[in-house]
């Protein structure tokens, strides 16, 4: 039987310069293959939660089991890095290298999975990996620009490269922090559909933060909502009404 992907128990996190906790007594489990939407108003701690799940931020109390393995707080060295290698992280700010080509940036999706030099620069990569990366770029309609520098791309194009990079890593878990935030409605829909389909096809788990309630309803099996520092809603998407979700933002 597959291990629970994420098992968060009584997680509390307080930033050093703040008196109130950002997240308090947060508990949830995400099982393999689930598609989970994370909702919550701006500043409730969605990005903080993503960073904690990846081990990029320390937390004050509670436990997190990633693929059944517990690592406490920041660090955990190899264990944490091996978890991250199984994650397709799509950060809000893209985190692309502007002076490198789209192709090189997509190759970075496997940066933690072996030879660093070969995954840093597309010109040093093997033919198979290059072809695979180009295939990922093609999925997002950017193959004609594969050798263009990322610094020349629009916000929407950069977001597509970030998705292609995550796909290239063949992850078991997609962590997407507002993946459609900088896109126009039709492209946003397309991107979310790609992400969701990829997760279904590869049997990967998907956790995505969004403010778009339609996306949450359409592309998730379950909805988690954060409000007032705690988990305010944890329910199957089926059977939920849009009005119920809207109350989360009231």
Partner 1 sequence: MINTSQGKASAFSIPRFEKPPLLGWLLLVAVLTFLIGSFRTVEIAPERVSRGFSRVLQIGREMIPPRVDRIVPLIQQALVTLQIATLGTLIGIGVSLVAGNYACRHVSHPYLTASIRSFVAIVRTVPELIWGLLFVACFGLGPFAGVLAVAADTFGFCGRFFTEAFDDVEDRELEGLRGLGATPFGQFLALILPQSIPNLVHTSLFALERSVRASIVLGLVGAGGIGVELDVAMRLFRYDEASTVMLLILVLVLLIERISESVRRQIRPYSQAS
Q: Note the residues at the interface with partner 1 (CB under 8 A).
A: 51, 54, 56, 81-89, 91, 93-100, 104, 108-109, 111-113, 116-117, 119-120, 149, 151-152, 162, 165-166, 169, 175
CB of 81 to partner 1, least distance (A): 5
**Measured between alpha carbons, how far is 190 from 104 in angstroms, rounded to an integer?**
24
Would you say 163 or 248 has its CB closer to partner 1? 163
- CB contact at 8 A, 209 and 46: yes
**Measured between alpha carbons, how far is 228 from 12 in angstroms, rounded to an integer?**
13
CB of 84 to partner 1, least distance (A): 4
CB of 114 to partner 1, least distance (A): 10
Would you say 19 or 99 has its CB closer to partner 1? 99
CB of 141 to partner 1, least distance (A): 22
Would you say 28 or 50 has its CB closer to partner 1? 50
- CB contact at 8 A, 86 and 6: no
CB of 183 to partner 1, least distance (A): 17
DSSP 170-236: --SEEEEESTTTTS-HHHHHHHHHHHHHHHHHTT-EEEEE-S-HHHHHHH-SEEEEEETTEEEEEEE
* Beta-ladder partners of 234: 224
Sign of CA dihedral 195, 9, 17, 78: negative
Would you say 104 or 220 has its CB closer to partner 1? 104
Which two structure tokens, joined as six digits, stand for 77? 């060295």
Would you say 122 or 196 has its CB closer to partner 1? 122
- CB contact at 8 A, 179 and 192: yes
Would you say 136 or 166 has its CB closer to partner 1? 166
* Beta-ladder partners of 207: 36, 175
CB of 41 to partner 1, least distance (A): 21
Alpha carbon 137 to its chain's center: 18
CB of 90 to partner 1, least distance (A): 8
Would you say 158 or 196 has its CB closer to partner 1? 158
């Amino acid at each position: 039987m597959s291990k629970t992907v994420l098992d968060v128990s009584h997680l509390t996190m307080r930033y050093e310069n703040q008196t109130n906790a950002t997240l308090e007594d947060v508990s949830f489990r995400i099982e393999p293959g689930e598609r989970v939407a994370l909702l919550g108003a701006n500043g409730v701690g969605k990005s903080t939660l993503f960073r904690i799940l990846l081990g990029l931020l320390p937390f004050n109390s509670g436990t997190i089991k990633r693929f059944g393995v517990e690592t406490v707080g920041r660090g955990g060295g190899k264990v944490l890095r091996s978890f991250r290698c199984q994650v397709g992280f799509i950060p809000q700010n893209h985190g692309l290298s502007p002076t490198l080509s789209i192709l090189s940036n997509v190759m970075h999706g496997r940066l933690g999975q072996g030879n660093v030099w070969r995954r840093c620069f597309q010109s040093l990569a093997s033919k198979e990996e290059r072809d695979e990366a180009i295939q990922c770029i093609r999925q997002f309609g950017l193959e004609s620009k594969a050798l263009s520098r990322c610094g020349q791309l629009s916000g929407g194009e950069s977001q597509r490269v970030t998705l292609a990079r995550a796909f290239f890593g063949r992850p078991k878990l997609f962590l997407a922090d507002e993946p459609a935030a900088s896109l126009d409605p039709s492209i946003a829909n397309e991107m979310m559909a790609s992400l969701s389909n990829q997760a279904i096809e590869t049997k990967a788990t998907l956790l995505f933060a969004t403010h778009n309630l339609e996306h949450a309803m359409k592309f998730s099996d379950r909805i988690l909502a954060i409000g007032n520092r705690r988990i305010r809603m944890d329910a199957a998407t089926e059977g939920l009404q849009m009005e119920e979700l809207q109350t989360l933002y009231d």
